Amino acid sequence: EDLVCFRDIRPGAPHHYLVVPVEHMGNCKTLKTEHIPIVKRMMEVGKAVLQRNNFSDLNDIRMGFHWPPFCSISHLHLHVLAPASQLGFLSRLVYRINSYWFIT
C-alpha cells in the first residue's frame, strides 16, 4: 500500500528493481530515525520481488541508495540488484558498497 516496486530502466544487473515509497520522501540524506521501519519494509519488498522472480540466493544481492548529488531523482528509491556477483565493471563502480556516491 505504501510502497511500489518496478524494474530499473537502465539495469545494472540481471535483476534490478527500484523500491519507492508512494508518499514523497526526499533523498537518503533526509532520512531520520523514525524512517527506519519504512527502509526495512523497502528491503523486505525488494527481497520478496527477487524471490517472486525466481532469484533465491539472497546472499548475492546488493541494496542501497545513491547519495546526493548522485541521485537522478529527488525521491527516495532503493536499488535492489541481483546477482551482485554478476555486476559488470561499470555497475560495480556505480553501485560500489558504501562509496562516496552509494550507501547500503
Q: Domain tally for the chain?
A: 1
Q: What is the pLDDT of residue 69?
A: 75
What is residue 71's predicted lDDT score, i.e. its pLDDT?
A: 80
- pLDDT of 74 reads 81
β-pairing, 3-7 vs 78-82, is unpaired
Task: Please list the rounded mean pLDDT of every run of 10 residues in the chain (104 residues).
Answer: 94 96 89 94 97 96 89 89 96 93 92
Classify the C-alpha dihedral 11-13-15-21 as positive or negative.
negative
Question: What does the pLDDT read at residue 76?
Answer: 94
Range of the domain at 27: 3-103
pTM comes to 0.93
pLDDT in the model for residue 68: 77
**Residues contacting 95, CB < 8 A, separation 6+:** 12, 62, 64, 79, 81, 87, 102
Position 38 scores a pLDDT of 94
3 state SS of 98 = coil
Q: Which of 75, 79, 81 is nearest to 60 (CA)?
A: 81
* CATH number for position 7: 3.30.428.10
Strand ranges for the chain from DSSP E: 3-7, 15-21, 62-66, 78-82, 102-103
Q: Is 77 a catalytic residue?
A: yes
Indicate which residue of 15, 16, 66, 77 is catalytic: 77
